[in-house]
Amino acid sequence: MAFPDTRLRRLRRTAALRDLVRETELSPARLIAPLFVASSAAPITAMPGVSRVTISGAVAAAGELAALGVAGVLLFGIPDQKDAEGSGAWDDEGAVQLAVRAIKAEHPRLVVITDVCLCEYTSHGHCGVLRADGGVDNDASLELLARSAVSHARAGADIVAPSDMMDGRVGAIRAELDAEGFAELPILAYAAKFASAFYGPFREAADSTPAFGDRRGYQMDPANRREALRETELDIAEGADIVMVKPALPYLDVIAAVRAMTRLPVAAYNVSGEYAMVKAAVAAGAFEERAVVLETLTAIRRAGADIIITYHAEDAARWLAQT
Ligand code: PBG
């Protein structure tokens, strides 16, 4: 049946009817807020509204997020000292490890996820250790990443999330967690992580800009969707419990493709540059922040993400509570 018998506007007539037939739900229970934990608090200029926090600041932020019904936090640590190996990453008294313990003690229901990577901890800013020729040594990095994940597990993390893009890291982390008595700890793999210019503001936040070169030797080429599916298949075969696509908005097609190829939960990371773009446009008076953020997050859910990691989490949760 076509017009005039069929009129799609009938179900758009009132807010109640639109609510009744909405296909995609957005709820704070789907959102994860990233937190940058450091020894001193400081605003991040490239990300208006986001700051580095101390351990006590992280506990306070976690409390506000929990009260708003946000599912969890993703922790990044900024160490005071960096070295060539990134040894701060597996320091049991490091910022992330201390923050995990403090947050879990105060807010046990909040899901605490830790980012497992070396780039915040290495003096050269790469996500793994370097060979003599300056290239990133994949296999030598695996052991260090696994060691970091175990340290996060000992601190009480609910999920570990490797973001380094070394080949084989999910399997290496799974094996080490199991050997150390953490067989029940899930891994959220940054499965399809692209070498994206949208990470720019994060690198200021985490002080992790590579000292030379770039990350294209390990992160994915933005042009490749089939390869994203291969990466995802491999991470699943190695034992990933949740797979992630990152960034989110410029990669909705990849989210949809990953959603179609697996039964695992799919996460998407609405990254720092996506956030900064919205903030800059709002500051320029281009559009209304609330409407754009909720539309963006809904679009990421519609593409197939079960879980969204976003710097808008707290604002979005507040706005959702008002609607
Ligand atoms: C660390 C890591 C990065 C992000 C998350 N984990 C930076 C990078 O790979 O350069 C980016 C997050 C964001 O931009 O919000 N490897």
Tell me the C-alpha distance between 286 and 292, whole Å. 10
**Model pLDDT, residue 323:** 72
Strand partners, 73: 33, 112
**Model pLDDT, residue 282:** 98
8 Cα: distance to centroid of ligand 1 (angstroms) = 42
Q: For 26-214+225-322, CATH number?
A: 3.20.20.70
128 Cα: distance to centroid of ligand 1 (angstroms) = 14
What number of other Cβ atoms are within 10 A of residue 264's Cβ? 19
What number of other Cβ atoms are within 10 A of residue 54's Cβ? 18
> Domain segments of the chain: what residues?
26-214+225-322
Token pair of 292, please?
A: 């754009």
pTM above 0.75, yes or no: yes
User: Which atom, in ligand 1's list, is nearest to the CA of 275?
Assistant: 15
Helix or strand run (H / E) with residue 52: strand 51-53
Which residues contact residue 309 at a Cβ distance below 8 angstroms, ignoring those fewer than 6 apart?
31, 32, 33, 34, 74, 244, 267, 268, 269, 270
What burial class does residue 194 get, using C-beta atoms within 10 Å of its C-beta: 0-12 exposed, 13-18 middle, 19+ buried? buried
Task: Tell me the CB-side half-sphere exposure of residue 68, using CA atoms within 13 A.
Answer: 26
Cβ 160 vs Cβ 100: under 8 Å: no
Nearest residue CA, atom 6 of ligand 1? 163
Which residues contact residue 293 at a Cβ distance below 8 angstroms, ignoring those fewer than 6 apart?
278, 312, 315, 316, 319
Taking 70 as the pLDDT cut, the residues of the chain under it are none
User: Which atom, in ligand 1's list, is nearest to the CA of 273?
Assistant: 14
Nearest residue CA, atom 8 of ligand 1? 199
Nearest residue CA, atom 7 of ligand 1? 199
User: Which atom, in ligand 1's list, is nearest to the CA of 163?
Assistant: 16
181 Cα: distance to centroid of ligand 1 (angstroms) = 29
What is the tens place of the pLDDT at every residue in 55-89?
999 999 999 999 999 999 999 999 999 999 999 99
C-alpha gyration radius of the chain: 20
CB-based pocket (< 6 A), ligand 1: 115, 117, 119, 127, 163, 199, 202-203, 215, 271-272
Q: Which amino acid is at 271?
A: V
**Model pLDDT, residue 207:** 86
Active-site annotation holds for 193: yes
Nearest residue CA, atom 10 of ligand 1? 199
Which residues contact residue 78 at a Cβ distance below 8 angstroms, ignoring those fewer than 6 apart?
36, 37, 38, 39, 52, 95, 120, 206, 207
Active-site annotation holds for 246: yes
User: Which atom, in ligand 1's list, is nearest to the CA of 201?
Assistant: 14
269 Cα: distance to centroid of ligand 1 (angstroms) = 9
Q: Which of 188, 194, 199 most suits a substitution to test ligand 1, by most atoms within 8 Å of the C-beta?
A: 199
Rounded to the nearest 5°, which phi and psi values hold at 242? -140, 140
48 Cα: distance to centroid of ligand 1 (angstroms) = 17
User: Which atom, in ligand 1's list, is nearest to the CA of 120?
Assistant: 1
Token pair of 217, please?
A: 């030797």
286 Cα: distance to centroid of ligand 1 (angstroms) = 27
Helix or strand run (H / E) with residue 60: helix 55-67
Cβ 130 vs Cβ 174: under 8 Å: no
